[in-house]
Amino acid sequence: MNFDLTPEQREIWLWAKEFADKEIAPRVEENDHKAEFDFDLLKKIGGQGFFGAILPEKYGGQGIDHIAYALMTEEIARVCSSTRTLFSVQISLVEKPILHYGTEAQKEKYLPKMATGEMIGCFGLTEPGAGSDAVNQATTCKQDGDYWILNGQKTWISNGSIADVAIVMAQADSSKGSRGICAFLVDTKTEGFSARYIKPKLGLHSSDTSELFLDNVRVHKDQMLGGYGEGFKVAMYSLDQGRFSVAAGAVGVIQGCLDISTQYAMEREAFDQKIGEFQMVQQMIAEMSMNAEAGRLLVLRAADKKDKGVRNTRETSMAKLFCGDMAQKAAYNAVQIFGGYGFSEEYPAARYYRDARVLTLYEGTSQIHNLILAQDELGIRPANGKNAPSNPVDRLSSQELLSV
């Protein structure tokens, strides 16, 4: 196994790091306190070509691999989880499903404009009564000639109020369960479509989170993403992509907590010495460092499989579970290291603490990912499909391991 970055991957990583430090970081605290979405920052991100990171050049993209994409995502999250959410949803939950399931006409219509940020997307799966239970879609679609009529409500939709296009899951035939779900590309200016911004929230204050309402929304049959009854497949594919970006973002949160904690620990004094000289503080710093490295390796393992075109539901789920949980722990420890100041909104530890909480909720709760991994190990439901090897060395025998 080669853990070295290629020159291109390293260049992209440094490019994202510089942009995050110069363009995102100076805006973070003000945007968070105002709880406002930063449209000017959106334009800057689009102008840099970040939104086209993984798209092929024929659609206006950069054509980078998933390892470089993970590093970009990590660097953005290191300074701002709200901005990382915008970035991740645009790429992982909207562009990638269109690229994978879309017709050529759909790709040409949406992807070039999404690559520049001229067009923003959102992903409409979660409903008031259907979160982890994604099959239980109450939103309906009924065919009417060349059109489908959509009715229903979606909630907790990132980018919902600012989106130009929404991928919407709807049930065409409830008797078919998951095989009755269809996915549609819905232009948000379509009559009957509306959005309501959800405010206030515990964290991600400058991220747009909304409810979507569909009241007899007419969508042409050419706007169906995938075939009839393939909506659940589209949703599961999309979640694999979204979970990957959340995991990479969680590594950024751990790294961000480590950065602010080490700096503060060597500035703050107590009992006539730097608090970083106390062993209990050092233990928390050591845990953050270890978990950042471990989480990063899990993410890059999943990225490597994605780049090889190998199914990676298990690896992505493991990365999302571990990194999300450890990001919460890192944020908790950052507040501890800052002490009373960690409880103040004047210091970044409080924001990291609030923003980290959602990492164990969206794109599958930690409990759902524990279930996925446990069922995979028990052979009840192999995460990567039938007869798929499941551990990091692909189930090599002891003798084979000795020869590696």
Amino acid sitting at position 207:
S
DSSP conformation class of 123: E
Q: How far apart are CA 325 and CA 358, in angstroms?
A: 10
Cα atoms in the 13 Å half-sphere on the side-chain side of 112: 9
State the distance between the two ends of the chain, measured CA to CA, in whole angstroms: 9
Helix (H) or strand (E) holding 143: strand 140-144
Whether residue 363 lies in the annotated active site: yes
55, 100 Cβ separation under 8 angstroms = no
**Closest by Cα among 21, 20, 30 to 346:** 30
Kindly report whether the peptide bond that precedes residue 200 is cis, defined as omega within 30 degrees of 0: yes
**151 burial level (CB within 10 Å; 0-12, 13-18, 19+):** middle
3-state SS assignment for residue 167 = strand
**Closest by Cα among 216, 198, 213, 61 to 147:** 216
Q: Specify the pairing of strand 165-171 against strand 121-124.
A: parallel
Q: Which of 74, 211, 230, 363 is catalytic?
A: 363
DSSP conformation class of 23: I
Measured in whole angstroms, the distance separating CA 299 from the mean position of its chain's CA atoms is: 12
Here the tokens at position 368 are 């759902």
DSSP conformation class of 392: T
Provide the annotated active-site residues. Answer: 363
